[in-house]
Amino acid sequence: MSNRSIILFILTGGTWFAVPAQDSLSTQKLNEIVVTATRNEKALGALPMPVTLIGKNQLRTMGSLRLNNVLTEQTGLVMVPQVNGLGNGLQLQGFDPDYTLILIDGEPLIGRYTGSLDLSRLAVGNIKQIEIVKGPSSSLYGSEALAGVVNIITERPAFTRGTLSARYGTFNTTDFTGDLSTTAHKLGVYAFANRYSTDGYSLGTNTNKTVSPFINTTLQGKINYKITPQTDLSFSARSFQENQAQSFVVNSNSVEIQTIGTGTIHDSNIFGSVEHHFSKRLKALAKIYTTHYETATNLKVKPVDTLYYHDDFSQSYTRPEINTEYFITPRHIVMAGTGTILETVQTSRYGDENKRLQQTQYGFFQYEWLPSDQFQVIGGGRYDHNSIYGAQFSPKLSMLWNPNNRFTLKASYGLGFKSPDFRQLYLNFNNTAAGGYSVLGTEIVVERINQLKAQGQLGALFYDLSQIGKLQAEQSRALNVGGRYTPSPGFFFDVNIFRNDIDNLIETQVVARTTANQNIYSYKNLHRVYTDGLELNVSYPLFKNISASLGYQLLYAKDKDVIANIRSGGVYSYYRDPATLETKRLSVSEYFGLANRSRHTGNFKIFYNNKERGLDASLRLIYRGRYGAGSLQGNVQGLTIPPSDRNNNGILDVYDNFVSGYFLCNVSAAKTFRQKLRVQAGVDNLFDYKDALYIPNLPGRQIYFSMSYSFSKK
């Protein structure tokens, strides 16, 4: 077996106490084990694709409570709001949040009712580590793993230990977290509970809150049982419940209406697995996962008590899977798996409360070959067959070359895809006001057009009927090339150059018009875009207990059709002079790219960790460069967001208005007494940066204090 041995059993618990000072940025430890990139445990340094690891140690020093706060500080990750300007979705390598798969312990998180997942749903207290794989991973995970995968690995049953913590901060935010782990003979148990509440915040000038007050609770339990030395049983369950108290003044007919109501989110998942080692070389895992997500909003007019607004959405996802891994020799490892996904959605947004179903069968394989200690190749692929959009094959090939202990070179090429979501298939939205228009999912649009035709109301049809109502998966081809240079221990440069070519991007498009001139929009595979750029991470041990790191991402994200259009003098090759309102010619270099993407993002962090004195502290600067606002207007404050495109050409060019770039500064400091009692204080957004109009998901300065008590019988 090679010196970078393959570790089959996770080493867990309490390791952070033993972390050497210069490694306090635990993202950087090459011998730490990650599972997401290859679906088996591998040392971080031995992975042939770009992977970021955020460990418990770093999470504790940062003092973050919710997942979005953690991810927003990582190089190349940007938290972007949803359509309504709120929420926190993850943008990765320039992809929208819809294109990154979010997993908890390897199982997908659902509830993308506007496309992105709100990552503030996830508490940080039970997270052992976060693994971020960049580049498509559809070869292992199927749909949605187009930009990459974020896998949240939660704590597992280990030796007897527990933690209780409480925190209080700005906006009357409270957080109580407790967890407990114990083992007895063959049994291991882990339990976690979290309660988080906040008064929310207001960025605007009127009485409406930008974020209304809410309370949420997260409960999680895990049980492991070793039936025989070769057979492990696992069971886990998680539940999340959030209640938000909403109170809005809505301006209707120039009359102010006071509405009050509730917003609820409930999300639960259950997981069970059996793992059996048939021999030292063959193991198999059978597992079943089921999850349910539902959200509802009910607003009533006060004091009349009539319903003002109702919205509900519920989604279920069930997946049994079998997965085997076989070590032909230590230099040849194969893995194969197969499974079925059953998904349903039921929502008021699709015009009825019918349950919509889709089913996917899939199989995947992966082959690892290590011709020498310096070289390894991983190849694999996955075949998905979906009841609606058909078949999809996603291969991936990765290579790593490690000529000496200073250099590592990596390259990977893969295909990713994202299946059309339920909204694109079944949305049935009819706006009777403002001229009237409909947005119809592809599974219902043809029927509606035929109805209109029969009623003599079809004015115009802009596509042949055979071209409407057929939606294919969105696909990407991606290349990641990079490596690491380590001049001395703890001091290194990580570089990754990426290129993603995305085809078949789904957009709304006018497909028909009624005789009353009302447009009928549906979804079509239209756009071809690319994102490319470079990611750089440098880490340097400044002093014995202090390490500094610098992260930077350069990003270009552009629409290929727009570029071709500008070249050929098409409709996008003009802009209106803001002063004279007259048309001028635009050049390709003046086209900035897709909205909501910053060309430059970066971070600078200093972490201090003095184990002897029980002190740790951090200073983190996060930069997001200027970007264009898309055509997403309006927020709960009633503010309208003017789109960046103010020169009437429908694209973002250098003459448009940009959202200004900004720095955020977060600091924290903690003292641990006798490895038991820990006191922490910190400030997020120290300089109180706010942009009520464009960045409603960024509250102002937040100060917090927390105390925690840990015990362990190790």
Partner 1 sequence: MKMKPIFYSLLVSAAGWLAACQSNNSVSPALNAVTFANLPADPPSAGYNPTNGAPIGVTNKFTFFSFSTGAIVANTDSATNKWDLGFRGTTIIVNGGTSGSGSTTAQVITGTFESYNTAPATGYSPDNLASASAPYAIPTGSGRGWYNYDYTTNLITPIAGKIILVKTTAGKYAKMEIISYYKNQTMPTTPTLTPNDRYYTFRYIYQPDGSTNLK
Structure tokens at 687: 């300089």
- Which residue, 458 or 555, is less far from partner 1 as judged by CB? 458
The residues pairing with 82 across neighbouring beta strands, listed in sequence order, are: none
Helix, strand or coil, per DSSP, at residue 103: strand
Task: For residue 466, give every residue at least 6 positions away whose Cβ sits within 8 Å of its Cβ, in sequence order, or none.
Answer: none
Q: Does residue number 523 form part of the binding site for partner 1 (CB under 8 A)?
A: no
Give the total of residues touching partner 1 (CB under 8 A).
44
- Which residue, 10 or 571, is less far from partner 1 as judged by CB? 571
CB of 590 to partner 1, least distance (A): 13
The residues pairing with 266 across neighbouring beta strands, listed in sequence order, are: 241, 294
Q: Does residue number 632 form part of the binding site for partner 1 (CB under 8 A)?
A: yes
CB of 200 to partner 1, least distance (A): 24
From 131-139, 458-466, 469-477, 597-605, give the range in contact with partner 1 by CB under 8 A: 458-466
Task: For residue 327, give every residue at least 6 positions away whose Cβ sits within 8 Å of its Cβ, in sequence order, or none.
Answer: 280, 281, 282, 333
How far is the C-alpha of 538 from the C-alpha of 552, rounded, in Å?
9
Among 349, 385, 528, 576, binds partner 1 (CB under 8 A): 576
CB 103 within 8 A of CB 109: yes
The residues pairing with 666 across neighbouring beta strands, listed in sequence order, are: 620
CB 195 within 8 A of CB 215: yes
How far is the C-alpha of 175 from the C-alpha of 215, rounded, in Å?
10
CB of 255 to partner 1, least distance (A): 9
Contact code string over 41-70 relative to partner 1, x by CB under 8 A: ------------------------------
Q: Does residue number 574 form part of the binding site for partner 1 (CB under 8 A)?
A: yes
Q: Does residue number 487 form part of the binding site for partner 1 (CB under 8 A)?
A: no
CB of 260 to partner 1, least distance (A): 22
CB 414 within 8 A of CB 381: no
Among 254, 329, 466, 589, binds partner 1 (CB under 8 A): 254
CB of 700 to partner 1, least distance (A): 24
The residues pairing with 623 across neighbouring beta strands, listed in sequence order, are: 602, 663
Q: Does residue number 649 form part of the binding site for partner 1 (CB under 8 A)?
A: yes
Q: Does residue number 654 form part of the binding site for partner 1 (CB under 8 A)?
A: no
Distance of CA 303 to the CA centre of its chain: 40
How far is the C-alpha of 365 from the C-alpha of 553, rounded, in Å?
32
How far is the C-alpha of 345 from the C-alpha of 353, rounded, in Å?
9
CB 90 within 8 A of CB 70: no
Among 5, 359, 450, 633, binds partner 1 (CB under 8 A): 633
Contact code string over 152-191 relative to partner 1, x by CB under 8 A: ----------------------------------------
CB of 244 to partner 1, least distance (A): 24
CB 494 within 8 A of CB 414: no
Q: Does residue number 513 form part of the binding site for partner 1 (CB under 8 A)?
A: yes
Task: For residue 43, give every residue at least 6 positions away whose Cβ sits within 8 Å of its Cβ, in sequence order, or none.
Answer: 4, 7, 30, 31, 32, 33, 34
Q: Does residue number 454 form part of the binding site for partner 1 (CB under 8 A)?
A: no
Q: Does residue number 460 form part of the binding site for partner 1 (CB under 8 A)?
A: yes
Among 31, 84, 354, 583, binds partner 1 (CB under 8 A): 583
Which residues of this chain interact with partner 1, rule CB under 8 A?
Answer: 252-254, 431-437, 459-462, 510, 513, 517, 519, 569-571, 573-576, 579-585, 631-634, 639-640, 642-643, 647-650
